[in-house]
Amino acid sequence: MNLQPLTDHFESYLPLTDSEKQLLNGRVSERHIRRRQSILQEGFPCKQYTFVVKGCFRMFAVDTKGVEHNILFAAENERPEGRWIADIGSFHAGTPSGFFIEAIEPSVILQIEQQDLYFLYLNIPKLDRIFKVIVENKFVELQNRILQTISSTAQERYLSFLKQYPALARRLPNVQIASYLGITPEFLSKIRKELAAAS
């Protein structure tokens, strides 16, 4: 198992000593995930924090009509906190999740179980600080998304998506982006045509 992507990621926040890197061994597991394979199902507790080494994931909910609503994406080319995906509330409380997490592409991930993460917090205190920054940034992202949903046009939300997920905008199918924006794929195509004509 290659932990280098994860240690490099942590060191983008704070440097780790060799002994701290050694403590990560045995506390992290690697998985190879097929396209459309789920790593979290609605109704089950989220038991791992997942770091995307390669590939792309989405977290989504399904409403009573069976319509899927994408909440967030995680991929290897995104900003640092954009490489993590988990239902944080379910993870810490041990409660059933209201979300699914599914691979959009064949992927390689590193996962940390709850008890292992708490062990790392105690034995590598700087990891506790790093994860606080990651969670705080995710919270700010969520606040901004809620504000956009209630106060922005679909075109403004799409432009914000392009700014937030520049690599994914070219990588994701229209249906996945449209689900995130709360519009139909047809309306997204219309927005793209309007923006192309205006440029």
What is the residue range of 125's domain? 4-151
| Cβ pair 16, 66 in contact under 8 A | no
Regarding whether 142 and 160 lie in a shared domain, the answer is: no
* Residues ≥6 apart with Cβ < 8 Å to 171: 56, 75
Q: Both 136 and 184 in a single domain?
A: no
Are 168 and 182 within one domain? yes
Q: What percent of the chain has pLDDT over 70?
A: 99
H-helix or E-strand spanning residue 31: strand 29-33
Token pair 């700014």: residue: 163
Same domain, residue pair 129 and 180: no
Q: What pLDDT, on the 0 to 100 scale, is given for residue 190?
A: 94
pLDDT of residue 142: 86
Measured torsion, CA atoms of residues 76, 187, 144, 93, in degrees rounded to the nearest 10: -60
Does residue 114 sit in the same domain as residue 18?
Answer: yes
Number of structural domains the chain divides into: 2
In this structure, are 144 and 188 located in the same domain? no
What pLDDT score does 164 carry? 82
pLDDT lower than 70: segments of the chain: 80
- Per DSSP bridges, beta strands 29-33 and 48-54 are unpaired
Contact between residue 6 and residue 24 where contact means Cβ atoms under 8 Å apart:
yes
Of the candidates 37, 137, 130, the one whose C-alpha atom is nearest the C-alpha of residue 82 is 137
Contact 103, 33 (CB under 8 A): yes
Q: Where are the alpha helices (DSSP H) in the chain?
A: 4-11, 18-24, 88-93, 114-123, 125-151, 154-164, 174-181, 185-198
pLDDT, residue 102, reads 98
Q: What is the pTM of this model?
A: 0.91
> Does one domain contain both 160 and 146?
no
CA distance 157 to 146: 11
